[in-house]
Amino acid sequence: MNLEGFSELHELAVGTLAHVYRATELPLGRAVVLKCLKPTLLPDSAFAQPLERESRVLAALNHPNVEQLYRFIKTERTIALVLEYVDGRSLRKALDDRQLVVEEVIAIGYEIAKGLLHVHAAGVVHADLKPSNLILGKDGSVKIIDFGIARASALGGLEALASRVAGPGFFGTPAYMSPEQLLSDEIDHRSDIYSLGVILYEALAGRLPIDRRDARDASARKHIEPLERVAENVPLALCRLVMRCLEPLPRERFRSADQIVSDLGGMIKEIDVRDTASLVTAAARGTPPNVTPRSVVASETKRWGSTMVLVALFLIGLVGVALLDRQRSVPVARALPMAPANAGTLRVTAVPWAEVWIDGERVDVTPIGFPIPLSSGVHEVTFRHPKAPEEKRKIEIRPGEPVTLNVTMKGPFNLRGATP
């Protein structure tokens, strides 16, 4: 491969339509990635259109977590994209090398979510998010790469044309695809959120959420084992976040990547590491991360330990009351983890997120990935967010009946790209 203005070409990958090289751009002397049309294909043929299409997608994006397009080249002999080169390796190679620690996964997931938020706000769906399309830089950066099959309505006719000419394997990697992508070509940004859930699940559990043999079976997505059962020392809040990304129905997932950024950002505050880029660097280099003893896991364990002490004291108090006054009836617990007699269930969602209080008792922070058992009767549910007014709702619980409560907090939130 000879392309004027570039030297020292080293092949990195071969795709259906293109070769990918690392090269030195002249006269700047900077390292770049060249994505070039295969020499057997003519630049004026329909098979060259997907590369032009990808260049248009990348030209609309400008974010630290998305690979940068420097320029688009079209000659009589070839078509080429000149792309940013990141010194590092793919998340796929990092996962194959060793098990990442929770702190690394949170830091990496946070950067991916920020990149997706920008991509979706630009009206683009990546459609092939997977570990091999995520580059971890030795400088601590995380880049989403390869927008070869990205969907963008602004591309018009090129969108349909790319679908016809790309051939088998063009439409993504089944193990990381959402159920709706497997069943139909009609997808939106929530399909990428599902793929992010698969990536985080794999990074934390050391395996995919479904067997690879079932990768093309959309119904298999309905029977994913909860992450908290298969991954040790993972905070419950993180498990719930991942499982919500993996909801089979798009409407049950996060409405946008904005809430994922917010939730993972909150977890990062609990990691006693000032420079989270060092966690990404460790994964990029394959070296052990330098994490302090006060990790998210330790913090979560401490919180649960304190909760158990309070529950134990509460139960001791109830026993004391019963011994002092046998005639008094003990009130039914309202929002304890165990199901009370004649219980119904409550499932809550809040956009972008909120602390949930029931009858004056704090339950958890959304997303809450399980139905909350409640005794029958009327309950007051309160939603609290630091940047929004408090929201209160009255609900009636009946034995054995599920109740769903969806609340949108009224505050200065950026929910661009979100759909109901």
Strand ordering across the sheet containing 142-144: 88-90, 134-137, 142-144
- In Å, how far are 166, 218, 254, 317 from 249, measured between CA atoms? 28, 11, 11, 44
Return the pLDDT at 309.
47
Confidence of residue 317 (pLDDT cuts 50, 70, 90): low
Confidence of residue 106 (pLDDT cuts 50, 70, 90): very high
Confidence of residue 166 (pLDDT cuts 50, 70, 90): very low
Return the pLDDT at 333.
33
Q: φ and ψ at 360, to 5 degrees? A: 85, 0
Distance (Å, rounded) from C-alpha 252 to C-alpha 230? 22
Return the pLDDT at 230.
93
- pLDDT reading at 257 higher than 80: yes
Domain residue spans of the chain: 6-84, 88-151+172-292, 293-330, 332-413
- pLDDT reading at 168 higher than 90: no
CATH class belonging to 6-84: alpha beta
Instruction: State the distance between the two ends of the chain, measured CA to CA, in whole angstroms.
Output: 48
Distance (Å, rounded) from C-alpha 119 to C-alpha 58? 9
Return the pLDDT at 377.
87
**Beta-strand relationship, 151-152 and 142-144:** unpaired
- pLDDT reading at 39 higher than 70: yes
- pLDDT reading at 306 higher than 50: no
Residues 313-335 have a mean pLDDT of: 43
- pLDDT reading at 321 higher than 60: no
Return the pLDDT at 363.
83
403, 345 Cβ separation under 8 angstroms: yes
Question: Burial letters for 5-31: b for 16+ Cβ neighbours within 10 Å, e otherwise?
Answer: ebeebeeeeeeebbbbbebbbeeeeee
Residues 252-275 have a mean pLDDT of: 89
Confidence of residue 364 (pLDDT cuts 50, 70, 90): confident
Most confident listed range (243-252, 265-274, 286-295): 243-252
Confidence of residue 212 (pLDDT cuts 50, 70, 90): confident
Domain 332-413 listed as CATH 2.30.33: no
CATH class belonging to 88-151+172-292: mainly alpha
- pLDDT reading at 269 higher than 70: yes
Return the pLDDT at 162.
44
Return the pLDDT at 235.
93
153 vs 106, higher pLDDT: 106
Tell me, letter by letter, the H, E, C secondary structure of the chain.
CCCCCEEEEEEEEECCCEEEEEEEECCCCEEEEEEEECCCCCCCCHHHHHHHHHHHHHHCCCCCCECCEEEEEECCCCEEEEEECCCEEEHHHHHHHCCCCHHHHHHHHHHHHHHHHHHHHCCEECCCCCHHHEEEECCCCEEECCCCCCEEHHHCHHHHHHHHHCCCCCCCCHHHCCHHHHHCCCCCHHHHHHHHHHHHHHHHHCCCCCCHHHCCCHHHHHHCCCHHHHCCCCCHHHHHHHHHHCCCCHHHCCCCHHHHHHHHHHHHHCCCCCCCHHHHHHHHHCCCCCCCCCCHHHHHHHHHHHHHHHHHHHHHHHHHHHHHCCCCCCCCCCCCCCCCCCEEEEEEEEECCCEEEECCEEEEECCCCCCEEEECEEEEEEEEECCEEEEEEEEEECCCCEEEEEEECCCCCCCCCCCC
Confidence of residue 81 (pLDDT cuts 50, 70, 90): very high
- pLDDT reading at 351 higher than 90: no
Of 64-73, 80-89, 282-291, least confident by mean pLDDT is 282-291
Return the pLDDT at 416.
41
Of 36-45, 148-157, 336-345, least confident by mean pLDDT is 336-345
Mean pLDDT of the chain: 83
Q: Which residues 6+ apart lie within 8 Å of 304 measured at CB?
A: none
Return the pLDDT at 292.
59
Return the pLDDT at 157.
43
Return the pLDDT at 413.
65
- pLDDT reading at 293 higher than 50: no
- pLDDT reading at 112 higher than 90: yes
- pLDDT reading at 380 higher than 60: yes
Q: pTM score, two decimals?
A: 0.69
Condensed to tens digits (0 to 9), the pLDDT of residues 279-290 reads: 999 999 999 887
Residues 35-47 have a mean pLDDT of: 90
Return the pLDDT at 7.
93
Return the pLDDT at 1.
66
Return the pLDDT at 414.
53
Condensed to tens digits (0 to 9), the pLDDT of residues 1-34 reads: 678 899 999 999 998 889 999 999 999 999 999 9
